[in-house]
């Protein structure tokens, strides 16, 4: 990939660079910005269910969505491998999400993904996504097949990548970005795979050796998220890996769906669910906002800064009662 080709500065890149530069200034203005961030609330829709189609429908009903009307919507699933959910996104979740997006007036629906280690094409075939694309009339972009010019280089100040990182241009320049993640631990250094780590599938495969060998892996995962911003995150938590992962692990059922637009908040609630279920030491013995992925994401201004900024929105008694349990766990930090 030719780094000498500087990509045209788009609106999202300009905002990102401005925020990073601004945050480095020890001024009254930056202090004011910090106070505003701390005051911000992140609403997370929570619905208890054992049905994935119902789960997607209900969380999108109760979450205040950014308008999708007349926009090209790119959906990034969790297809790192084709292993059964929560090893990868369930077809029912993806199908319902595509239908809900189309109902809300999207001009086009696109699934974008880069799998690994298996080839992306093989994973999509094994999951039946090519056939699903025909049935539901959506487009597929295999990031693994992108040309050199379709990767955008980022090298923000203070990042832990040797020479910065690349993100797929369709993701960076998407009009409307939807992430749909699973609920699971990660035994190979990530600790957990929720919405923040989903960004790894937007990078080229050649960066994985550097990422997996670095002691700063979790910080680097958070830093990838500087290059794009999802307008919607949907987490399928019907089944979870509470140990092992990301492709196979110890299973428990949480029977819930989450939706939001703040990656830190979604992941914080997801970790609270893992704690409530009973997870491994890496989850249970560390406070949520002390997890490196979360901590670095907060430092980078990617979302809320503390658990008291999370507002759980629920539609029924069962969901409200479970949300109260999670609030107690979140309150511990």
Check residue 150 and give its pLDDT. Answer: 98
Tens digit of each residue's pLDDT (9 = 90 or more) over 4-29: 344 444 544 444 444 444 344 334 44
Check residue 35 and give its pLDDT. Answer: 52
Check residue 90 and give its pLDDT. Answer: 98
Check residue 40 and give its pLDDT. Answer: 80
- Three-class HEC string of the chain: CCCCCCCCCCHHHHHHHHHHHHHCCCCHHHHHHHHHHHHCCEEEEEEECCCHHHHHHHHHHHCCCCCCCCCEEEEECCCCCCCCCCCCCCHHHHHHHHHHHHHCCCCEEEEEECCCCCCHHHHHHHCCHHHHHHHHCCEEEEHHHCCHHHEEEECCCCCCCCCCEEEEHHHHCCCEEEEEEEEEEECCCCEEECCCHHHHHHCCHHHHHHHHHCCCHHHHHHHHHHHCCCCEEEEEEEEEEEEECCCCEEEEECCEEEEECCHHHHHHHHHHHHHHHCCCHHHHCCCHHHCHHHHHHHHCCCCCCCHHHEEEECCCHHHHHHHHHHHHHHCCC
Tens digit of each residue's pLDDT (9 = 90 or more) over 243-252: 999 999 999 9
Q: Which domains does the chain have, with CATH numbers?
A: 43-330 (3.40.50.11440)
Intervals of the chain under pLDDT 50: 1-9, 11-33
Q: What is the value of pTM for the model shown? A: 0.89
């Amino acid at each position: 990939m030719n780094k000498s080709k500087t990509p045209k500065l788009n609106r999202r890149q300009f905002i990102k660079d401005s925020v990073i530069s601004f945050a480095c200034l020890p001024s009254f203005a930056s202090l004011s910005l910090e106070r505003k961030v701390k005051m911000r609330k992140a609403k997370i829709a929570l619905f208890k269910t054992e049905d994935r189609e119902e789960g997607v429908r209900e969380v999108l009903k109760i979450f205040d969505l950014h308008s999708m009307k007349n926009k090209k919507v790119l959906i990034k699933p969790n297809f790192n491998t084709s292993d059964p959910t929560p090893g990868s996104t369930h077809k029912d979740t993806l199908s319902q999400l595509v239908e809900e997006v189309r109902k809300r007036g999207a001009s086009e629906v696109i699934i974008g993904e880069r799998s690994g280690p298996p080839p992306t094409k093989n994973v999509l075939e094994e999951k039946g996504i090519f056939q699903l694309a025909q049935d539901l009339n959506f487009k597929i972009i295999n990031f693994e097949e992108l040309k050199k010019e379709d990767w955008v280089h980022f090298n923000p100040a203070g990042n832990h990548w040797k020479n910065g990182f690349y993100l797929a241009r369709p993701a960076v320049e998407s009009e409307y970005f939807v992430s749909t993640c699973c609920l699971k631990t990660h035994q190979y250094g990530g600790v957990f795979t929720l919405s923040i780590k989903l960004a790894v599938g937007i990078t080229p495969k050649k960066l994985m050796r550097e990422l997996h060998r670095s002691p700063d892996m979790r910080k680097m995962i958070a830093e990838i998220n500087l290059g794009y911003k999802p307008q919607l995150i949907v987490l399928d938590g019907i089944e979870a890996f509470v140990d092992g992962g990301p492709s196979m692990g110890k299973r428990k059922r949480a029977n819930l769906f989450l939706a939001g637009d703040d990656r830190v908040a979604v992941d914080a609630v997801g970790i609270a669910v893992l704690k409530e279920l009973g997870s491994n030491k890496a989850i249970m013995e560390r406070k949520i906002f002390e997890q490196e992925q979360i901590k670095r994401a907060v430092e980078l201004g990617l979302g809320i800064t503390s658990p008291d900024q999370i507002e759980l929105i629920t539609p029924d008694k069962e969901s409200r009662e479970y949300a109260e349990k999670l609030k107690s766990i979140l309150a511990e930090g």
